[in-house]
Chains A and B, each alone.
Chain A
Amino acid sequence: MILTYLANIGRYVPELLAVLTMIGLLFVDSTYDNEDKKKPMVYATAIIGLLSVLIALLFNWGDEPVAIFTGAMIVDPFSILMKIIIVLGTLGAIYLSSQSREIYWYLKSEFSIIAVGVMIGGMILVSANNFLMLYIGIETLSVLSYVLANFKKDDELSSEAGLKYVLYGGMASGVMLFGMSHIFGVLGTIQFSNVSVALASLSNTEIAILLPSFLMFFAGIGYKIAAVPFHMWSPDVYEGSPTPVTAFFSIVPKVAGIAVLMRVSLVFFGETGSTLQVGWVGLLSVVGALTMTLGNVSAINQRSVKRMLAYSSISHAGMMLMGILVLNEVGISAVLFYSIVYLFMTLVAFYIVTFVTDQYQNDHFERFSGLVYKHPLMAISMAIVMFSLAGIPPLSGFVAKFNILIALINDAHYTLAVIAVLNSVAALYYYLKIVRLMILKDSESSEPVSLFGFVNQSVIVAMVIPVLFFGIFWSKIISTTSNSILLVIQ
């Protein structure tokens, strides 16, 4: 028993390293008195720690997918790839926080510590294979996120964001917990693999009891990925939080939520033809279509770029739901591809928005006007990312959209495919708005954005390269994602 446990540890090194990183950060933070000395040490620890997590994940890559800790967690290529995305997203957010002026200097080390904590929650979540682990993961992720939302303590909007997040979040996880205990009550198990077996042998009355419980369970996850109608919190929280936090929120919790939803959907409802499966796919279709549409329509009229990006990230989550509801390998591959691309696009967009916002103290669209005359490289990067988010070839956003459509049409969901593509026209409208301001308008002032130093520009360009590269040379990526097995144990 103990030996099997110890043997499992080998597959669990990335998570352990992440925990060590967090402890190390706490240690460094409390050791130094002098802020000037502390800062570089904290960032060095964070970056070294996260890179080692990344390396450990890459070492696990290619191993046989297994269930570890008596089936509580699963390590498969799907979860490893998702974890890589989560770690990269965290790394990006931490670097951004180090540059941003919105994160007060005395809170910078706190940000890193908490971000790594959220990341650990996300890593647990994408590997979770029973309800308990899922709940632990989602709560680790959520509770620490509440703190992050509240980071600008003296700022009214930030406090509002934090409070909203806590209230909504507490409510959602309560409902989810209730749904999960209901499922446990009927099926007598919390293990995902047993759930699917138990589901197969249910009578119709029992299924009728389970339907609302699954709905409640879905509410919890839907809240995390901000799916309509559980999205209300998201624009306010995104707008109120400091921009690096917003960047972090729109990547890590979202990707983790999508990953866990993917796993749960496939494990529970992978069997074709059951009543529950039809219901679940129907639910995801309606929610997904609404999420895409509402996100896009609401984004059109925003004045704040941050809020616009918040709504656009809602619609992207809707797009990823499309890849989940087909419940097959094509869908998994599409969602993985989408997540990878989404990571880079979102990071670049938020980096540029953060730096511009810091300069002018607000994030209205007009602050971007004439950016091309001041910082041509940055304006072009932003334009590339906006076009990519809108799904224009030959950028990677298009390929991601193409893969989702492939998954949908492969499964003959033509209606959803048409809704999805019509949405991208609406999306193009608001993404164009910012491109138009940056490149077609003259600038308000000649004052350059001071945070666009050489290093920051290089970092941004380095993140734009994958956005361009994966749009044309995506042969390797697609064969990687399509070989990323999601382990289903029956």
Chain B
Amino acid sequence: MSGSSSLLNWILWMPIIGAIGVLLIPKMKEEMVRYWSLINTSITFLLSILLYMRFDTTVAGMQAPFNVKIPWIEHFNIYYSLGVDGISLPMILLTGALFVICVLCSWTVKKAVKAYFALFLFLQSTIFGVFMALDFFLFYVYWEVMLIPMFFLIGVWGGEQKEYAAVKFFLYTFFGSILMLVGMIGLYFASANVPEIGVNTFDILALHGGYFSEMTVGLFGMELSFSKLFFIFMFIGFAIKVPIFPFHTWLPHAHVQAPTAISVILAGVLLKMGTYGFLRIAFPIFPEASVYFANMIAWLGLINIIYGALCAMAQTDVKRLIAYSSVSHMGFVMVGLAAMTVQGMNGAVLQMFNHGTSTAMLFLLIGILYERSHHRWIVRPDGTKGFGGLYTQLPKFSVVFVIAMFASMGLPGLSGFISEALIFLGIYQKFTTITVLALIGLLLGAAYLLWMFKRMFFGEVLEECKTYSDMNAREIAYMVPLCIAVIFFGIIPAPLLNIMKASVGNLVSLMSNF
């Protein structure tokens, strides 16, 4: 069907159409803005489902029927080039789904509603752009543009220290990507010297394959290996996004200060852009440098797991706790990627998706709670309890919370388990020590979540907690699909694994040559 070729374009530009629509709606009609955004994101999500249905799971590379390639800047051989494969499709589906949910959860936003939803939809488009771009220049543009709506969404609609958090987030991620820009242009000029490529190009797929291992580059008077230096440049850019220790310091601030929906997007989708960058760019373009640094990445991932978990345990702010748990969980993804085995990689990509759903649930639940309590202290700074006995007061809320928590913990039968099990299977073949130590991280993960749960949901019912109302229909409406997803993919992960299998296998076999 002819529709396939423009499907990616529709998914990518639908949110922009939505954002323009939001701007055209009169200022007074806030309700209309909300419904319009909901309809718009729903259409986008349906389109991404359509993409899933037309997706051919047997093809390893980019799916030719969906590819879009239009010359953009002919002078520099830059193309507007989009594509989708088994690694990007789960991310596109996740983005499509989470934005619908986040529109519902943003229903309570009161300040400058029009601007909020316009920026929010714009953000969605830029995220799709990152996951679809096959031209390095285009990828870079989307990667950076995303910072602008994010900056305003945190800075205007955030918590008390929103400005600090927004500026820190912006500067940190900008610093990370700016070195990537040098690497990108370096690749552009180096590609002409590769006989297999022959022209200066920004085409990511053409650059795949590890052609750059023999080249050198002079920097600050030193002669360095081209691929290792630029792998490090890309690594810094992606590592800040993931975030990998020691580049993680922006994350707790940004997560805590951001409004609920933005925290969900940050944890659910944005962090995955970092790991996606490794899968799409850093690993396949510099395979031999990746293999060279694999050990280091795995150890950093391990530090993430343990350090993130320990930090989470020490938090008294529940949102901060969840933020640090993200650091810990993204550590599993990094370790799985560094193993470069079939199970490890599959597990990592699956974990990217599963972490997206389970953390999104936790952040949404905390947002729901915050709307009632207007604070997030497990233990207040003065030492008294912030919450207590929520289980008896908010039964529906608590059930959902339990599901989310166990999914995040990796309890069998829920989604987190499958991906973590695959990761452990994968890394055991390569790093035995790290596997054992990472298991401790798993234990710590259970510890901080259960401890938090005990302090907040059990025990004596606090006087102020008695006034909280349970989840309303709107809140249930957006939590239930996530619950279903978490349980469904915990029991039957095959639909997701089938999508990614071929593409991940392709990447692993490329890496195994080095």
Contact = CB atoms under 8 A, between A and B. Distances in A.
Interface of A: 387, 392-394, 398, 402, 405-406, 409-410, 412, 414-415, 417-418, 421-422, 424-425, 428-429, 432, 436, 439-441, 474-475, 478-479, 482
B174 interface: yes
B174 A417 contact: no
B152 to A, nearest CB: 7
Nearest to A481: B75
Interface residues of B, number: 36
Max count, chain A CB within 10 A of own CB: residue among B155, B174, B186, B217: B174
B174 A418 contact: no
B179 A436 contact: no
B400 interface: no
A113 B297 CA distance: 65
B181 A421 contact: yes
Contacts of B167: 429, 432, 436
B307 to A, nearest CB: 26
Contacts of A422: 175, 178
Contact of A439 (B141, B156, B185, B188): B156
Contacts of A441: 163
B227 to A, nearest CB: 14
Contact of B181 (A405, A414, A429, A482): A405
Nearest to B163: A440
11 contacts: A392-B174, A409-B182, A417-B185, A428-B171, A428-B174, A432-B151, A432-B167, A439-B156, A440-B162, A441-B163, A479-B74
Given A392-B145, A421-B178, 17 more contacts: A405-B182, A406-B188, A409-B186, A409-B189, A414-B218, A415-B219, A417-B185, A418-B219, A418-B220, A421-B182, A424-B178, A425-B175, A429-B167, A432-B170, A475-B74, A475-B75, A478-B75
Contact of B73 (A392, A425, A436, A475): A475
Interface string B157-171: 000001100110011
B163 A415 contact: no
Contact of A392 (B76, B144, B186): B144
A279 to B, nearest CB: 18
A393 to B, nearest CB: 4
B140 interface: yes
Interface of B: 72-76, 140-141, 144-145, 147-148, 151-152, 155-156, 162-163, 166-167, 170-171, 174-175, 178-179, 181-182, 185-186, 188-189, 217-221
Contacts of A412: 217-218
A419 to B, nearest CB: 9
B458 to A, nearest CB: 40
Contacts of A415: 218-221
A282 to B, nearest CB: 13
B174 A425 contact: yes
4 tightest Cβ-Cβ pairs between the two chains A and B? A393-B141, A421-B178, A440-B155, A409-B185
A475 B75 CA distance: 7
A442 to B, nearest CB: 11
A392 B147 contact: yes
B322 to A, nearest CB: 25
Contacts of A436: 155, 163, 166-167
Contacts of A478: 73, 75-76
B217 A414 contact: yes
B245 to A, nearest CB: 21
B330 to A, nearest CB: 24
A478 B71 CA distance: 14
Contact of A440 (B166, B185, B189, B220): B166
A418 to B, nearest CB: 6
A405 B185 contact: yes
Contacts of B182: 405, 409, 414, 417-418, 421
B24 to A, nearest CB: 15
B73 A474 contact: yes
A366 B151 CA distance: 20
Contacts of A440: 155-156, 162-163, 166
Contacts of B156: 439-440
A428 B182 CA distance: 17
Contacts of B220: 415, 418
Contacts of B162: 440
A410 B141 contact: no
B79 to A, nearest CB: 12
Nearest to A417: B182
A406 B147 CA distance: 23
Contacts of B75: 475, 478-479, 482
Contacts of A424: 174, 178
A396 to B, nearest CB: 12
A117 B495 CA distance: 73
A431 B219 CA distance: 29
A421 B163 CA distance: 24
B481 to A, nearest CB: 34
Contacts of B171: 425, 428-429, 432
B185 A393 contact: no
A392 B145 CA distance: 7
A479 B71 CA distance: 14
Nearest to B221: A415
A268 B147 CA distance: 44
A387 B148 contact: yes
Contacts of A432: 151, 167, 170-171
Nearest to B155: A440
A448 B140 CA distance: 39
Given A405-B182, A414-B218, A432-B167, A394 B152 contact: no
A429 B175 CA distance: 11
A420 B73 CA distance: 23
Contacts of A439: 152, 155-156
A406 B185 contact: yes
B166 A393 contact: no
Nearest to B75: A478
B183 to A, nearest CB: 10
A475 B76 CA distance: 9
Contacts of B152: 439
Q: Which of B163, B166, B182, B220 has the most CB of A within 10 A?
A: B182
Contacts of A429: 167, 171
A276 B278 CA distance: 45
Contact of A475 (B72, B155, B179): B72
A421 B219 contact: no
From B147, B170, B181, name the one whose CB has the most chain A CB atoms within 10 angstroms. B181
Nearest to B233: A418
Contacts of B175: 422, 425
Nearest to B182: A417
Contacts of A421: 178-179, 181-182
A406 B76 CA distance: 10
Contacts of A414: 182, 186, 217-219
A415 B217 CA distance: 10
Contacts of B174: 392, 424-425, 428
Contact of B179 (A394, A409, A418, A428): A418
A275 B39 CA distance: 68
A163 B144 CA distance: 44
Nearest to A420: B182
B202 to A, nearest CB: 11
- Max chain B CB contacts within 10 Å: which of A402, A406, A417? A402
